[in-house]
Structure 1
Amino acid sequence: VPRHPDVLVDPVENVLAVIARCRPHEQALAVWESALRQGLVVRESLRLLPLAPVARVLLEECSLHSDSGLETVIPVRLRFLRLPIRQQVWLAGHAVDFVIGDRLVLQVDGGHHVGVQRRSDIAHDARLKLLGYHVIRIDYVQIMTRWSEVHDVIVRAVAQGLHRAR
């Protein structure tokens, strides 16, 4: 978007274009999804701009279902499984963060999953298990610094067929 040379602040669209070129894919995608989710830009308007190919890829990959950057990286990191990964699916009275395949639930816990929220999460996990779902619950530290451990648990669950309806 053209900007007058005396203006110090770029439009959001320009910032997103720079981020697409300068940041790793996961980080750029998290920023793009956040801008769309917060209504700072509109997908249809972005499609009309002369975006670079890397920005076009980000635009098409953006989901409005991620509640955080943590939730943005999960589908990117698990794409190699070639399984359906659905976000914000309503099950047993609550939304779950991800359903991998038919029955593998992946819940991402932020810092607010304590006290009453934590007790509610535990109760919901129990209801899901009684309905035949398999629940894996992970947090920020695991996603950002111990991904290899999370990856190992998820691929082992898939290898055991825990993602399939029985």
Structure 2
Amino acid sequence: MFGRYDLKPAARRLLSEISPWLDSGLETFVFTRLRWLRIRTHPQVVLLGRRVDFLIGDRRVLQIDGGHHVGAQREDDIAHDALLRLHGYTVIRVGCFQVTDRWPEVQDLLLRAIAQGLHLA
């Protein structure tokens, strides 16, 4: 039993992977795929006045854009990315399609950044 419900193993595993701190299903997908790195990964951290999707280590920011990141939202995101860079953060920004359909490329970008120590203070 999981609470009051008799859930199958796949459903119990899925429930163990979700978090109220993740802002979307897409972020849950990314968070579960980053667990094996064994590097401190915090979702929805406020940096310089705005939330970022993920802070990996001390200085790596991963931002995931959905389809609504256009117009004024996109301009605000670009400005915040620049501010983060000026304060020593390294930002990787990817789109929804990259996460869902081209995950190996995203993972490769993250691993290369980590190999270069860009996640460290």
Q: TM-score, normalised by structure 2?
A: 0.90
Please identify which structure carries the higher helix content. Answer: 1
Instruction: Look up the match of 1:118.
Output: 74
User: Identity over aligned residues, as a percent?
Assistant: 57
In the TM superposition, structure 1's runs of 4+ consecutive aligned residues that sit over 6 Å from their partners are: none
Q: Distance in 1 between matches of 2:73 and 2:108?
A: 27
Instruction: Look up the match of 1:7.
Output: none
Instruction: Look up the match of 1:144.
Output: 100
- 2:41 aligned residue (85, 88, 92): 85
For structure 2, the residue ranges without an aligned partner over 5 or more in a row are none
Larger Rg: 1
Instruction: Look up the match of 1:53.
Output: 9
For structure 1, the residue ranges without an aligned partner over 5 or more in a row are 1-45
Q: Which has the higher contact order (CA 8 A, sep 6+)?
A: 2
Q: TM-score, normalised by structure 1?
A: 0.67
Residues 54-100 of structure 1 show CA distances to partners (whole Å, capped at 9, x for unaligned) of: 33332222111222221111111122211111111000000000011
Please identify which structure carries the higher strand content. Answer: 2
Residues 128-164 of structure 1 show CA distances to partners (whole Å, capped at 9, x for unaligned) of: 1111111000001111111111111100000011111
Aligned pairs for 1:144-163 within 5 A: 144-163=100-119
Aligned pairs for 1:95-134 within 5 A: 95-134=51-90
Q: How many pairs does the alignment contain?
A: 120
